[in-house]
Amino acid sequence: MKLKTALLGAACAFAFAPAAFAERGSDGTVNVLYAQAPSTLNPYLSSGTKDVENASIILEGMAGFDEKGVVFPRLAESVPTVENGGISADLTSITWKLKPGLLWSDGTPVTSADAKFTYEYCTAPDGGCAQASRYEGITSIDTPDDQTVVINFDGPKPNPYQAFVGGTSPILQKAQFANCMGAAASTCTEQNFNPIGTGPFRVVEFKTNDTVTLEANPNYRDPAKPAFAKMVVKGGGDAESAARAVMQTGEFDYAWNTQINPELQAQMETGGKGKFVNGFGTLVERIEMNMTDPSPDLAEGERSTTKHPHPILSDINVRTALSKAIDRQILVDIGYGNAGRPTCNLVPAPELFASDNTGCIPHDMEGAKKLLDDAGWVPGADGVREKDGKKLHILYQTSTNPVRQDFQALIKDWWTELGVDVELRNIDASVFFGGDAGSPDTFQKFYADVEMYANNFDGTDPEPYLASYLCNKIPGPDNQWQGENINRFCDPAYDALVAEMGKTSDMAKRSELAKKMNDMLTKDSMVIVPLVDRGRLSAASNALGGVNLNTWDTEMWNVQDWFRVK
Amino acid sequence: MTDATTAIEKPASQMRAIWQQFRTHKGALFGLIVLGTLILAVVLGPFLWVPEKMSVAKAIMLKNQGPSWRFPLGTDQLGRDMLARMLDAGKVSLAVGFVAMMIAIFVGTTIGILAGYFKRLDGPLMRLTDMFLALPLIPLLLVMVMLFRDRIAGLVGPEMGAFLLIVFAIGVTSWMQAARIVRGEVLALKEREYVLAARSIGAIPRRIILRHILPNVVSPVMVAATLGVAEAIITESVLSFLGLGFPPDFPTWGRLLYDGLSYMQIYPERVIWPGVAISLTVLSVNYIGDGLRDALDPRIRGR
């Protein structure tokens, strides 16, 4: 007996996965804390991350994104590609094949009709589907047999992994939602609060804006999973108390989005009950340089427009020197700790599209000073550099947020040392990001010399994101200040690359183009000065195994693989 | 009333009488000492305590230090000396508090007296007061900041511009209570015998107001003023927090408090210092007001 136990122990150690021996429901209950409570479990009726995350425990799509941003099959047998014939050569259709023998949690079979219904459900008029963008460009869905789903697009789609891929577009059961089309969608409370799914858990009880109680789905396709018999997702509180509940009191096994300052992170980690897990997506905190003149002396309607180039920031030497003078590692240590890392890229991920540009990371104050000296910007009597009667005076604005104000203080110190006179301004976030064309304080109007904020792109494909730096997307009075090209960057060569990428489907080629465009905006022109690659930070108990934070899909993407560490 | 007439002939003795009465109020005396110390500290402090100049990288090494001889109040999350920041911040907060209060009291008293004394002005002025009471402060400030910030900053620089704007904004949105209190008092006072007597000998309204009415409404005005100081300091903190106030590198007590909030658990002193400073100021100003009210009121004085 003893020998047997020892052997079993050794096997465990070798396999390094106790879950492999576990059977469904053998590990008891797992408790998860969401600082924001879910209000519905139908992701098509809410764009809130909390709702999508919670729904993804119950509902699944054909495929999902793994932690590297790569598409992997869920309900589908395999991921269709051009090579295996799943995507047509002209990129206008994609064919998904369901795994055989799939069952809904109520025991009925999953068929292609469910997928087609989901598309119709989300695109029904008056339905107000929150995820309609996932189904954009689809002309029709064909179901030649019960296992096959063919999606036809209105034109070539280089990135067809939109519909039925990821937590934001799961497949709904036709039988359950058939009467909830269009305007009736939000009235189907029973269906929206208790959707029948194919995921590892099914709903036992849902208290809106409070708690979701789930149990293992008896019809889940892998008979050994999930290891937990019950799952309780509690909502409410704030990031700090959520982190505490996992890291210090141990009441919960997992807490979602525990973005707290590095000091607190370090303090809580000494508790020894849990650890912070992080994952990096595409969110980059950056300084944007204004290529146009924001001077208040100019007439309204001409301020910060392409009519007047910026008097000092038009000089690339100034922009480069400003970037060199910043020590990004210090910014990360102060502001984000484990949840950030220095970056020089606008597109820091996925790996396929990330440029190897790291030249900005070493702090080089002397180099920055020399660059300005050589370019003719010499210190005046008051220590502020000047050239041709123009002083290096910079108005630096951002939204109101404690971390951003710390960054402003630090960067101001560095720039002052460089010989730049810096004026700081912070604006309430709801105004700054509000997009009101009547307000002078929005980030689109950019009535400042430089501004700092963070932005990311949805999904794994950077094409639409990079296309926002086209010449014709410059915000101005003629388009109600609604462009996305905040810096007023304009380069015909760049526009040509964007057009080329729109026609390219070969992944290697796309990656090369994306990297080239990223470099044009960052290291070649210094129009965008990336500072910190901001990750997601969640807290997981040491007693919970199998956690793998994923920033491309929901954090609950692999909840079926979670197990209790004994 | 004979007391009052002799007092007018010899102002010095009236001052003494007020001081005598004020001294008997222990809380007020304590408040005066504390407030005096705070004002002295923020005015003279920056000359006596000059923090050492450090590069960013060096300062970062010294972040979050506790109190020591080198940093009497410790350092903040960026390694800045808290004492120096507290002194700088106090100068701004106290100045905002007192100047805004003075504007509010001046406007409030003027409108209150005019409305109370001149029947014809009563209606329009009180409706104006109602209108201001109905104005929400924050949206009004948003508009003011939007319209005037750049222009004022261009004239007097960003810091002074923000100061003028904030002080003016708080001043013009907090005079209404004072106006209503004063009007009520004036309505009662103007029917008193001595006012009638003054009128009967042909005194002009200006003289009656300045000589007979104003000194008698001083005590409620004082109370309103002391409350106003406290409110102005707190409003300023709110504004700075919303990003409508001073530039972020320009510390005020309110801003220090908000900055320290996220570190409260680990470094409680970060919120205690500015918190104590604000509370002490507000408390001592209130006590001084209390003492002054007693001292200035001839009916209480001398009892």
Q: Which residues in chain A are closer than 8 Å to B265, comparing Cβ atoms?
A: 264, 267
Question: Each residue of A288-311: pLDDT tens digit?
Answer: 999 999 988 888 888 888 889 999
Task: Return the pLDDT at B93.
Answer: 87
Q: Which of A267, A399, A409 sits opposite B78 (nearest CB)?
A: A409
Write out chain A residues lying below 8 Å of B243, CB-based: 399-400, 425-428
Check B266 against A263: CB less than 8 A apart: yes
Residue A414 DSSP SS3: helix
Q: Nearest C-alpha of chain B: how many angstroms from A439?
A: 8
Angle at A472 between CA A470 and CA A473, to 5 degrees: 70
A393 touches chain B (CB under 8 A): no
Inform me whether the pLDDT recorded for A104 exceeds 90: yes
pLDDT recorded at residue B8: 52
- Cβ contact, residue pair A263, B263, below 8 Å: yes
A83-90 average pLDDT score: 86
Residues 305-334 of A with CB under 8 A from B: 327, 330, 333-334
Q: What are phi and psi of A122, to 5 degrees?
A: -75, -25
Tell whether A366 is within 8 A of chain B (Cβ): no
Sorted by sequence, the CB contacts under 8 Å of residue A504 that are 6+ apart come out as: A158, A510, A513
User: Is pLDDT above 60 for A197?
Assistant: yes
Interface test with B, best of A298, A304, A428 (most B CBs within 10 A): A428
Other Cβ atoms less than 10 A from the Cβ of A113: the count is 13
How close B105 comes to chain A (CA, Å)? 30
Interface contact flag, B242 A400, Cβ < 8 Å: yes
Among A65, A124, A71, smallest CA distance to A94 is for A71
Structure confidence at residue A117 (pLDDT):
92
Which position has the higher pLDDT, A1 or A347? Answer: A347
Q: Cis peptide before A226, with omega less than 30 degrees from 0?
A: yes
Q: Which of B55, B158, B243 is closest, CB to CB, to A426?
A: B243
Task: Give the pLDDT score at B146.
Answer: 72
Q: Count the Cβ atoms, other than its own, within 10 Å of residue B31.
A: 24
- Flag whether residue A421 sits within 8 Å of chain B, measured between CB atoms: no
Mean pLDDT of A33-50: 83
Could you tell me which chain A residue has the CA closest to the CA of B143?
A: A439
pLDDT in tens, A210-258: 899 999 999 998 888 889 999 999 987 778 888 888 988 888 999 988 8
ipTM of the complex: 0.70
**Whole-number pLDDT of residue B243:** 64
Local confidence pLDDT in tens for the 303 residues of chain B: 445 454 455 555 777 878 888 888 888 889 999 999 999 988 888 888 777 777 777 777 777 777 887 777 888 877 788 888 888 888 888 888 889 888 998 999 999 999 988 888 889 999 999 998 888 877 787 777 777 877 777 777 777 888 888 888 888 888 888 899 899 989 888 888 888 898 899 888 888 888 888 888 887 887 788 778 878 887 887 777 666 677 777 888 888 887 887 788 788 888 888 888 888 888 888 888 888 878 877 676 655
pTM: 0.76
Helix (H) or strand (E) holding A170: none
Q: What confidence tier does A203 reach under pLDDT thresholds 50, 70, 90?
A: very high
CA distance B268 to B273: 9
Contact A408 B249 (CB under 8 A): yes
Contact between residue A294 and residue A302 where contact means Cβ atoms under 8 Å apart = no
**A441 CB within 8 Å of a chain B CB:** yes
Closest alpha carbon within chain B to A440: B146
A2 CA: distance to closest CA in chain B (Å): 49
